Amino acid sequence: SASLIAFGLASTAASADPAGCDDGEMVIKFSHVVAATGHPKGDAANILSERVNKEMEGKACMQVFANSTLFDDDKVMEALLLGDVQLAAPSLSKFEAYTLKYRLFDLPFLFQDLDAVSRFTQSDTGKGLLTVMEDVGYTGLGYWSSGLKQFSADKPLLVPSDASGLKFRIQTSDVAEAMIEAMGGSAQKLAFKEVYGALQTGVVDGQENTWSNIYTQKFFEVQDGVTETNHQVLAYLLVTSTEWLNGLDPEIRDQFVKIAEEVTIAANDAVAETEMKNRQNIIDAGGTVRELTPEQREAWVSTMKPVWEKFTDDIGQENIDAAMAANA
């Protein structure tokens, strides 16, 4: 019947644009660079938008743009200030232009595991660091962990000296650059969406990332193997424009911030499992994962840890101490 057809069309339209916004709803656009699903950030962004769209129906409406389809991580920071998007979650390695305090999170072998990262981000010091960019227009709503980082290259890496002479793609982080140089390699800063092509064509020889990024971006397919170094955390700042946040109706703001806080906790609790799944997915897809002996691991630690010293003044010794205290 006509009404069934009309119903069918309407539901098709609704599912093609699940966050179709109604008149009068405040639109919250969230732009990120990773896979839309099966990844800690992709999944967390979807859970956040589902909750906002259900619980704030009639008041707010969230649309998520994954896979760098809207902005990369450099552009998204400008877009937040311009009001082109309202939410983003770049890695904490990518805020060098706004604060040097987040260099803390890049210090190699700082956190012993993801639980330590959670304990730190929930501590007074961790929470205090959410607001260090307010003078330049940004407020952090929470930290989203994504996992520990692993190295991959076009040849086997078992000790840091295996990386000598190789070029590695890094995020826009001077700590990462210092780390690669300590290994005898050279570093090239590239946007996330360019990494696969750069590895494939040999513009760079290797990279460092989480299991979830290495699997969902298929980096393992164009690398000899992945070495389980767990050398650094990859975590994001769920970030918005301070002006936008402060301009919200207080009731709407409180509801939105509360949802964001709850989703942050749930998302962080799910990371370890997603990461282990994607580690296994790499192996199942024919990728090589290399584990380190305790002696090999010690070689990575002793090569990389000396870079801390270069960044202590930027970060503040008290922040480093608080992070170390989060290790059990």
CB of 209 to ligand LMR, least distance (A): 5
Residue 63 phi/psi, 5° resolution?
Answer: -120, 130
User: Token digits for 224?
Assistant: 């000899």
- Complex with ligand LMR: residue 159 or 166, whichever CB lies closer: 166
Within 8 A by CB and 6+ apart from 109, the residues are 231, 232, 300, 301, 304, 305
Q: Quick check: 150 and 210 in contact, CB under 8 A?
A: yes
- Complex with ligand LMR: residue 53 or 274, whichever CB lies closer: 274
- Complex with ligand LMR: residue 56 or 237, whichever CB lies closer: 237
CB of 92 to ligand LMR, least distance (A): 9
Burial level of 245, CB count in 10 A (0-12/13-18/19+)? Answer: middle
CB of 213 to ligand LMR, least distance (A): 5
Which residues make up the interface to ligand LMR (CB under 6 A)? 33-34, 41, 91, 146, 171, 192, 209, 213, 234
d(CA 117, CA 96): 20
CB of 91 to ligand LMR, least distance (A): 3
Beta pairing, strands 233-241 & 138-148: antiparallel
User: Token digits for 269?
Assistant: 């609790």
- Complex with ligand LMR: residue 34 or 60, whichever CB lies closer: 34
CB-closest chain residue to ligand LMR: 91
CB of 210 to ligand LMR, least distance (A): 7
* Location of structure tokens 């400008």: 78
How many residues are recorded in the chain?
Answer: 328
User: What 3-state class would DSSP assign to 81?
Assistant: helix
- Complex with ligand LMR: residue 67 or 122, whichever CB lies closer: 67
CB of 246 to ligand LMR, least distance (A): 26
- Complex with ligand LMR: residue 118 or 173, whichever CB lies closer: 173
